[in-house]
Amino acid sequence: MSVPTLYIKPGCPWCDEVVDYLEKKKISYKAQVVSGNPEAMKEMVALSGQTKAPTMDWDGEVLADFGVDELIPFLKERNVI
């Protein structure tokens, strides 16, 4: 199984909740901080068409501007939880 990329912004409460949830469930991910990182921001915008975090890219399937409530069905579709 590939490791998803999670685009986050420090201080973002939704980002913090998602990170806490993924760590609690022991789900691996690669974090990309987009604040102060123009290349990561450009990558996130190219994938999702927007600038809001968190955004997750899992093998080309993108979940953008979400909270844990939206993340759970996304993970269930991938048989992760």
8 closest CA partner among 80, 60, 67: 67
Please count the residues of the chain: 81
Dist CA 26 CA 64 (whole Å): 21
In tens, the pLDDT along 13-57 reads 999 999 999 999 999 999 999 999 999 999 999 999 999 999 999
- Whether the CB-CB separation of 66 and 54 falls below 8 Å is answered with yes
Dihedral (CA of 70, 74, 76, 81) sign: negative
Instruction: Give residue 62's pLDDT band: very low, low, confident or very high (50, 70, 90).
Output: very high
Give the helix ranges, DSSP H, for the chain: 13-24, 38-48, 68-77
What is the pLDDT at residue 2?
Answer: 85
Domain 5-72: which topology?
Glutaredoxin (3.40.30)
The domain limits of the chain are 5-72
| pTM, to two decimals | 0.95
